[in-house]
Structure 1
Amino acid sequence: MVMQSVLGTPLFINACLGIIVLLLSLWRGWFLYVALVFLVAMNATLHTSQTIPVTAREAVFSGTVISEQPQETYVQLLFRIDQVQSGNRNIQLSETVLFYAETGKTYLGRHLLIRGRIKNAPYGRRPHILAGRIVVTATATSITGAIQASVNQFVDGTLGAVLSPMHADIAMSLLLGGSGRVGRDVRDAFSRAGVLHILAVSGLHVGFVAAFAGFLLLFVPLSPQIKFVLTMFVLLLYAAVTGFRSSVCRATVMAFLFGSAVLIQRNVTPLHILNVTALAFLVINPLALFDLSTQLSFAAVYGIVVLFPRCNERIVRYVHNRFVRRLLTIMAVSLSAQTFVSPLLVYYFHQLPTCAVISNCLIVPLAWVTVLLLFLCLSVGALSVVGAHLVAYLVSIALNAIIVVSSLFANFPFSTVALHISPLLFIPFYSLFFALTRKAAIFVIVGILILCSLGRLPHYTVIIKDENTSIIVCHNESTVVVTREKRNSRVQAFLARHHIRKITCLVAPHGCRVSAQRFCPLPDVLHVKKIGVGPLDFEIGSRMLLRYGTVQIPLFNEDMNNANGHEIVYIVTNGTRVYQYNAPRFGSVVDQMLVDVRLYLLKVMFLF
């Protein structure tokens, strides 16, 4: 697999350009940053999943669970395969795949035998999927796996014994991460209140673990260097127990860099340390750039590092009342993080919490106290069950307080606002906060807004289609959906991916439960039905056609099945001219930027 990547032309070109730029860095130091870009590109090519020949025959896969993401009805496991048994042959294979297991169990660090088949990933930036069933669950074969399995089992067992099921799920999420453990109602309340981040382990938890370890070592007669090494060892263990989540790894690397700078007495700015951490992430695993948790983690910290000093200098430091000053400090930190995270939240989840700044002033201190009590409960629980029950009573009070306050903010009118933005605004938005790029960012934002406004002037129709569903959006905002997909979940997922909330007319098989203002059932193959929606005319039968102006467009292309569902087709027409281009079905933010640029430019072209 690696040899095929090394011999590939893109990797060869990146390697040649990287060597040239590396030599140029001896002349000008800033070329070193360009060399890092080519190194990241080479590493991304080597990390990209390669296509695996899919066979109908099942095999037994042996490997270790290196990460788990609990959800409400299942657990998503990141499974590292080390051996495959197919018939009488044992094949050595080093591949990381996704596997979906039943909920209610802890798999992190365990060695599994899974009987099933590997399905190729929808696109190259994600692991392949292993479909099958677990045959054998064994103990871990490595020291890291043994620590992960034993600690997770201890935490799960202790909290499950002393807390109610709902409180135990929230407590596990607070300690080890994974908001999917929590019930849908509680998770929605946390999301609407803007405090869902407390259920994802982050710098808050790493800071507490570091403070706890430092407090214990305070009374030990050791040198500062040895105490620092021991503290970092504790943080490394905590990162391993959480499954090396990106937010924990980010905070651990930053703690190491900060501690190292203090020991060697170097004055280093937080922004510099954060930049070095981000570069380290990209060099080690460039595909982390496409991971949502990594994006949110770094965006929040960048917001705090960039905006909080300005808020502190211009507002907070002029307040002399101690209580008000601390309250404003918490609000400034929350506002700084929320400002940088908001574009990502709107893009991925299409909603913006409006009460996050205020709600975090109450929830974050409560979460801090709850985490403290949870660590105390686990420490006491290792010695006495009765003591753990006493501490668990305090934990239940704190968790109830968090739930009540979150529900209170979630029930406020307009606690969340539904929004949709293009990722084209990401770079100019973040550039507004830096003096060197502020003027250029303003011009770019104005240009994008003008481009979007001009794109609304001409009469046009946009068609987005895959092999079974077509979305037709007319210039007058009427939306028609034609589908022959019998599974409602796939239709709803396709509509949600393209931000379709209101459907003017739905043409679908009988039994489709997607809501629409007008529903037209699909006729059988022997009949043809003609449907008119505004300027659009549809011919539904053995052939499904759209007539708009003088053009005639097929709604489904049979040759699209050859793409294995990896691509969707965008068609833009004004009734006389037709433009078509393909885009990845599960594209990244960069892919969506390219789609939006093409779409806006084609709309503007219809003006001329």
Structure 2
Amino acid sequence: MTGSSLHIRKRPLLVLTCFYGLGIIFGFYFKGSLWWLILGGLTFLVNLIYFIRKGKLQSTLFLLCFVFFGALWYNLHCLPPDSYRHWLDEVVEGQGTVISYPRPGAAGLSFMVDLHRLSRGEQELPGGIRVLLRTKGDAQVLPGTVVGVRGKLSLPRQARNPGEFDYRQYLANGQIFYQLTTQDNGLTVISEGQGVRTWLAREREKIASHLAQIIPLKERGLLLGVLFGDKSGIPDTDYEAYQRAGVVHLFAVSGLHVGFVLGLVWALLSFWEVRPLFRLLLGAGCLTVYFFLVGWTASIVRAIIMALVGLVALTVGKKQDLYTTLALAALIILVANPGELLQTGFQLSFVTTAGLIYLTPWLGNLGLGKILAPAVAAQLAGIPLGAYYFNQISLVAPFLNIIAVGAGGIIVGLAMIGSILYFVWPPLGDPFFLGAGGLLYALSEFILWWGRQEWTGLIVPTPPLALIVILYAFLFLAPHLYNFIPYWRSFFPPVYRQRILTAFIIIGITCFLWPHMGKTQVVFLDVGQGDSIFIKTPGGKTILLDGGGTPGSDYSIGKQVLKPFLRRQGLRKIDLVIMSHSDTDHSEGLLEVIPYFNVGQIIVPPLEQGDKVEEALLQVARKRNIPLNSVTAGQYIQVDDQVRLEVLHPDGERIWHGNNKSLVLKLIYQEAEWLLTGDIENEAIAYLLAQKEDLRADILKLPHHGSISSYSEEFYRQVGPWAVIVSAGINKFNHPHPRVRGYFSERGIPFYLTRDNGAIITWSKGRKIEARTFIPSL
């Protein structure tokens, strides 16, 4: 099969699956609309009438039925039931069955529970919903265990900043809309599971425990990832290196593993003459067992369905059509759960598999050979999605994958043989486990060395969806471009061909750069109860002012919010990092994120002896050879030709402490001005007013999260903003104070609050400043 042999009309299931998927996408962007039901019903009715009168289906209407069905099916499955919303943030009790393997995290364990019953006091709601259960401690539960729970019902965290992982949408795509966080002794085991799935889960845990006794911790984490897709034992830094190297798919159980399971079955059956039907049933049974051991993922379900269809085709003596088989696998998954289409894992699994099937013959004909062509095909198919979701493109993935897939096949084989022998007698499997662990460690170190080299991967800004569509259209047309060359040459003389290509290049570059040309962007990130501001100038200079923080929490603002946001911008370097003052809710995220980026310079207020945060920042600066300078009022920082930062506070003659030590900066770009005030309170505000500073600005970032201790009507009048911004989360300090908010609402001045709106994105081309919120206002 060549790349040019994709005959759509001969594969109706592929067409129907594509239109059904298109309907799911429409359903996602137009959630909760009854029009899908109305339009779908009318289209079906018209199609039925046409069929009755003409004796055949009208193809266009028939395909539209699939579009409407996809949209309707998504809305029926992936929208939260409203009956539970009035119990949010309330303590509830319930009973349910564990349906996933527990995953360890910074705050304890989390796993999915199918609730049979849910109540609050004497009020009771019908069960039948699935929740994410979070609990502290080491709960001994497995899929199939029936548990009693008591805890607070809440919504999962949603994305509140550009680039931040939307955990709420991720869970909703899996038909999970609420999370339940247990209170003290809020989880009790009512009964152990008795089914086959629970028995297999116990055996998986036994294998994991046995591995902990015979191989080191790192190799154990890697081996569990390869064998069962369990990534919890792989350090975050290593996993990121695997992503940069483009081989993270080794830890996604898929076709390689399924192929080896069937290979073992075929090898064992080769000693006897068995009927094809028995071979099919035994292969299907082994794959089902492996599925329960691994759990639901799009990649394993896709691989199993394709393998089963292949077995059926082999049994009945028919040739398997890979495109139709792939479409069937997608359709089964998307009918079971339409939200899977929006999951990164589903998209990468199916797109790379389709690319492997479609592009490999073409690349082979270009001379890449049977070994390199599949690796390059998979890489090309995954590049657009990798850039969109992970902001990186690996330059060494095709070559590393040749080694990784080859060695990975041996590792998977040794691990599976070890698992089978473990069930016979545990020591029998040890040599195979040890061999797999040793080989995996060597492979891992080899890959990590490449993944830690900066030049092996490109960091790119998140491409627009339109560009993703164009790139995949190009990949689809690439095998056919050679056929167009004669027409291209006959219609356009050489001089016109050069002009057309030049025009396309100029248009492409202009479309990519136009949104950023001549524009200064200031983003007030939502970091909860704290401050963090990102600035990008027309010349491409970048500034990070403060980094937020979560005192007393395991949640990392730097890793979970700042780093994804900065990667979304395509950044390896931050030109200027500024710490307004050393309070944890301004500084903690900076200390967490600096090690991941090249930093040009760090700016701080005058240093204070004995300040532990400032000392920690000094150590980081020395370790990474980053210049660190303190500034005072009267100085300015020329960021680029048209943008400068004026320092208004603190002055160098007086010693300031605490919040009043905060840097107050005015960002000026031509006629547009932002006043960024840190956490200054009334003492510092009065001093600023007494100095007769020019405080006028278009945007005022309110001091100290809108606290009453920073309330000053004279200060507000002097600034005269057209809009104010408050960075504050849920807190016990009454931030922002109602009196502060009331002052601006009475005067009709827009009041943006990150707690309500998420990140506030402001920008200007030198005159008027515009603003939008990441979370739309209700």
TM-score after normalising by structure 1 = 0.81
Q: Return 136-145 or 343-352, whichever deviates more.
A: 136-145
Q: Return 263-272 or 297-306, whichever deviates more.
A: 263-272
| SS of the residue 1:555 aligns to | strand
Contact 2:298/2:333, CA 8 A, preserved across alignment: no
> Given the alignment of the two structures, is residue 252 of structure 1 paired with residue 325 of structure 2, yes or no?
no
Task: Give deviations 1:336-371, integer Å, cap 9, x for gaps.
Answer: 111112222233222322222111222212211111
Task: Give deviations 1:227-271, integer Å, cap 9, x for gaps.
Answer: 323322321221122111111011112223333344455545312
Q: Return 490-499 or 101-110, whichever deviates more.
A: 101-110
Q: Return 225-234 or 530-539, whichever deviates more.
A: 530-539
* Aligned partner of 1:547 among 698, 702, 722: 698
Partner of 1:42: 72
Cα distance in 1 between the residues matched to 2:346 and 2:519? 41
* Aligned partner of 2:98 among 56, 65, 79: 65
Task: Give deviations 1:443-464, integer Å, cap 9, x for gaps.
Answer: 9997554223333433444545
Partner of 1:357: 398
Cα distance in 2 between the residues matched to 1:69 and 1:444? 52
Cα distance in 1 between the residues matched to 2:385 and 2:31? 34
Cα distance in 2 between the residues matched to 1:64 and 1:111? 4
Q: Return 349-358 or 566-575, whichever deviates more.
A: 566-575
Letter in 2 for 1:504: L
Task: Give deviations 1:40-84, integer Å, cap 9, x for gaps.
Answer: 211221222245224554233322232247456554422222222
Letter in 2 for 1:581: R
Cα distance in 2 between the residues matched to 1:69 and 1:312? 44
Cα distance in 1 between the residues matched to 2:288 and 2:753? 46
| SS of the residue 1:301 aligns to | helix
| Pairs within 5 Å for 1:500-515 | 502=574, 504=576, 506=578, 508-511=580-583, 512-513=587-588, 514=590, 515=594
Letter in 2 for 1:451: C
Letter in 1 for 2:182: G
Q: Return 185-194 or 398-407, whichever deviates more.
A: 185-194
Against the structure 1 CA distance between its residues 55 and 294, is the aligned structure 2 distance closer, same or farther, given a 3 Å change threshold? closer
| SS of the residue 2:378 aligns to | helix
Cα distance in 2 between the residues matched to 1:120 and 1:415? 39
Partner of 1:603: none
* Aligned partner of 1:570 among 761, 765, 771: 761
Partner of 1:78: 112
Against the structure 1 CA distance between its residues 572 and 234, is the aligned structure 2 distance closer, same or farther, given a 3 Å change threshold? same
Partner of 1:396: 437
Contact 1:485/1:509, CA 8 A, preserved across alignment: no
Contact 1:67/1:108, CA 8 A, preserved across alignment: yes
Against the structure 1 CA distance between its residues 386 and 498, is the aligned structure 2 distance closer, same or farther, given a 3 Å change threshold? closer
Partner of 2:621: none
Cα distance in 1 between the residues matched to 2:754 and 2:516? 32
> Given the alignment of the two structures, is residue 419 of structure 1 paired with residue 457 of structure 2, yes or no?
no
Cα distance in 1 between the residues matched to 2:57 and 2:430? 66
Cα distance in 1 between the residues matched to 2:136 and 2:330? 35
Cα distance in 2 between the residues matched to 1:195 and 1:156? 23
Partner of 1:538: 675
Letter in 2 for 1:531: L
Letter in 1 for 2:227: L
| Pairs within 5 Å for 1:300-449 | 300-315=352-367, 328-410=369-451, 412=453, 414-424=455-465, 425-435=467-477, 449=509
Partner of 1:33: 63
Cα distance in 2 between the residues matched to 1:520 and 1:526? 11
Contact 2:664/2:676, CA 8 A, preserved across alignment: yes
* Aligned partner of 2:180 among 117, 121, 130: 130
Partner of 1:282: 334
Cα distance in 2 between the residues matched to 1:29 and 1:445? 39
> Given the alignment of the two structures, is residue 202 of structure 1 paired with residue 254 of structure 2, yes or no?
yes
Contact 1:65/1:107, CA 8 A, preserved across alignment: yes
Against the structure 1 CA distance between its residues 251 and 545, is the aligned structure 2 distance closer, same or farther, given a 3 Å change threshold? farther
Tell me the CA shift for residue 432 of structure 1: 0.7
> Given the alignment of the two structures, is residue 120 of structure 1 paired with residue 155 of structure 2, yes or no?
yes
Task: Give deviations 1:423-482, integer Å, cap 9, x for gaps.
Answer: 32211111112239989xx99997554223333433444545547544343323344555
Contact 2:229/2:294, CA 8 A, preserved across alignment: yes
> Given the alignment of the two structures, is residue 475 of structure 1 paired with residue 538 of structure 2, yes or no?
yes
Partner of 1:93: 127
Partner of 1:592: none
Contact 1:194/1:355, CA 8 A, preserved across alignment: yes
Cα distance in 1 between the residues matched to 2:439 and 2:428? 17
Against the structure 1 CA distance between its residues 245 and 218, is the aligned structure 2 distance closer, same or farther, given a 3 Å change threshold? same
Partner of 2:37: 15
Contact 1:465/1:556, CA 8 A, preserved across alignment: no
Against the structure 1 CA distance between its residues 583 and 36, is the aligned structure 2 distance closer, same or farther, given a 3 Å change threshold? farther
* Aligned partner of 2:511 among 451, 457, 482: 451
Sequence identity percentage: 18
Contact 2:520/2:535, CA 8 A, preserved across alignment: no
Partner of 1:604: none
Letter in 2 for 1:547: D
Against the structure 1 CA distance between its residues 295 and 560, is the aligned structure 2 distance closer, same or farther, given a 3 Å change threshold? farther
Cα distance in 2 between the residues matched to 1:287 and 1:545? 49
Against the structure 1 CA distance between its residues 478 and 407, is the aligned structure 2 distance closer, same or farther, given a 3 Å change threshold? closer
Q: Return 247-256 or 543-552, whichever deviates more.
A: 543-552
Cα distance in 1 between the residues matched to 2:247 and 2:365? 26
Letter in 1 for 2:450: F
| Pairs within 5 Å for 1:488-507 | 489-490=556-557, 493-499=560-566, 502=574, 504=576, 506=578
Against the structure 1 CA distance between its residues 313 and 262, is the aligned structure 2 distance closer, same or farther, given a 3 Å change threshold? farther
Tell me the CA shift for residue 491 of structure 1: 5.7
Cα distance in 2 between the residues matched to 1:28 and 1:115? 55
Q: Return 506-515 or 277-286, whichever deviates more.
A: 506-515
Q: Return 30-39 or 487-496, whichever deviates more.
A: 487-496
Partner of 1:517: 602
Task: Give deviations 1:467-504, integer Å, cap 9, x for gaps.
Answer: 75443433233445556944283365333333265263
TM-score after normalising by structure 2 = 0.64
Letter in 2 for 1:428: I
Cα distance in 2 between the residues matched to 1:297 and 1:28? 33
| SS of the residue 1:107 aligns to | coil
Letter in 2 for 1:15: L
Tell me the CA shift for residue 223 of structure 1: 3.1
Tell me the CA shift for residue 310 of structure 1: 1.2
Cα distance in 1 between the residues matched to 2:351 and 2:532? 35
Contact 1:539/1:545, CA 8 A, preserved across alignment: no
Count residues with an aligned counterpart: 566
| Pairs within 5 Å for 1:294-305 | 294-305=346-357
Partner of 1:589: none
Contact 2:244/2:457, CA 8 A, preserved across alignment: yes
Task: Give deviations 1:539-588, integer Å, cap 9, x for gaps.
Answer: 52579995379974423386988896574443333343344434349xxx
Cα distance in 2 between the residues matched to 1:71 and 1:9? 33
| SS of the residue 2:536 aligns to | strand
Partner of 2:281: 229
Task: Give deviations 1:507-543, integer Å, cap 9, x for gaps.
Answer: 6452314156324599988899742345244152579
